[in-house]
Amino acid sequence: MTNTPPVCNYEGSDYQQSFWDQGGRAYEDKAEAIALKRMLPSSGKLMLEVGAGAGRNTPRYAGFERIVVMDYSTTQLTQAQERLGRSDKYVYVAADVYRLPFRNGLFDGATMIRVLHHMADAPKALEQIRETLQPGATFILEFANKSNLKAILRYWLRKQSWSPFTREPVEFVKLNFDFHPQAIRQWLNELGFSLGKTLTVSHFRLGLLKRLIPANILAGLDGFFQPTGALFQLTPSVFVKATLPGAATVKVPGTIIEYFKCTECGSETLQEKSDRVACPACGSAWLVKDGIYDFREKIK
């Protein structure tokens, strides 16, 4: 098995409830909804949602015929099933972003929201996602912005040691990283993406403002300022729309098992057998349990 960077695992976590439902983040959620609406294509065939968590954003991708809801944590995916239900529209997959189990050129859309900040090797993660996308695909990426206004002021006031102006990521808490916008653009360009809209989000992420101003109003104001991201990025959260050149040439497979490839040998001839997915080429196998395809670790 190839060594991969460490993964931030939310297994057993009540993250959706504690951080979003009860954490006073209605404003951020509504502001992100505005940004996604501006960037998402009106329709599509097959979407990959990387780091879907408990499915908070998944209903916002309703224009796609089918969505692969992917996360490393089966706890989060079980919560997503409770929120979204089990239907032909959703395919639940537990996987490591550094070892994606999907065929190359499969998806015509992908999102990665509030996930890159956990990536110790962001370029490797982005490269993995790019390989799963077909020509003409849209990729919407959100990242935690190293050069936000608060970080700049703290640096000037000598309250933090790291510079918000340099391109290297900063790990401010273990497996929590901020990135410079120029570094993100460079990595995406090197992978062949053309960059479209850049939106700045969470302009008003201050506890006092969130207590005084209703979330709907604050999010509306945020939406008004989001397009300023085309000129400068000073907010803690930035959304980037990236597309691959060309037109879609790959037909989406008719069966789910045809979405996958072996993470060990790369074979695309996997077989599904009741409680597992198996690779005849190398003998590897992975569990399928409670509607979740679990590609994190092979079972033999």
pLDDT of residue 195: 98
φ, ψ of residue 203 in degrees (nearest 5) = -65, -30
pLDDT at 204: 97
- Convert the pLDDT of each residue in 12-47 to its tens digit: 999 999 999 989 999 999 999 999 999 999 999 999
Average pLDDT over residues 269-289: 95
Q: Which residue has the tokens 């989406």?
A: 252
Residue 2: the pLDDT is: 56
* Domain 15-256 CATH (choose: 3.40.50.300, 3.40.50.150, 3.40.630.40, 2.60.120.10): 3.40.50.150
Confidence of residue 1 (pLDDT cuts 50, 70, 90): very low
Average confidence (pLDDT) over 148-162: 97
pLDDT at 75 over 60: yes
The answer to whether 129 touches 123, Cβ cutoff 8 Å, is: no
**Residue 74 CB partners (closer than 8 Å, separation 6+):** 11, 94, 292, 294
The total of other beta-carbon atoms located within 10 Å of residue 84's CB is: 18
Per-state percent for the chain, helix, strand, coil, to nearest 5: 30, 25, 40
pLDDT confidence tier of residue 276, bands split at 50, 70 and 90: very high
Spatial CB neighbours of 197, under 8 Å, sequence gap ≥ 6: 38, 39, 227, 229, 230, 239, 240, 241
Span 86-114, average pLDDT: 97
pLDDT, tens digit (0-9, with 9 covering 90-100), for 196-205: 999 999 999 9
| DSSP state at residue 199 | E
Lowest mean pLDDT among 5-14, 68-77, 136-145, 182-191: 5-14
290 backbone dihedrals φ, ψ, rounded to 5°:
55, 40
Q: Which amino acid is at 162?
A: W
Domain boundaries, the chain: 15-256
Q: What was the pLDDT predicted at 193?
A: 98
- Smallest CA-to-CA distance from 58 within 71, 237, 146 is with 71
Q: Could you give the 3-state DSSP secondary structure of residue 56?
A: coil
Nearest to 287 by CA among 276, 298, 271: 276
CA–chain centroid gap for 98, Å, is 13
Kindly state the percentage of the chain with pLDDT values over 90.
94
- Residue 260: exposure state from Cβ atoms within 10 A (0-12, 13-18, ≥19): buried
| Tens of pLDDT, residues 202-249 | 999 999 999 999 999 999 999 999 999 999 999 999 999 999 999 877
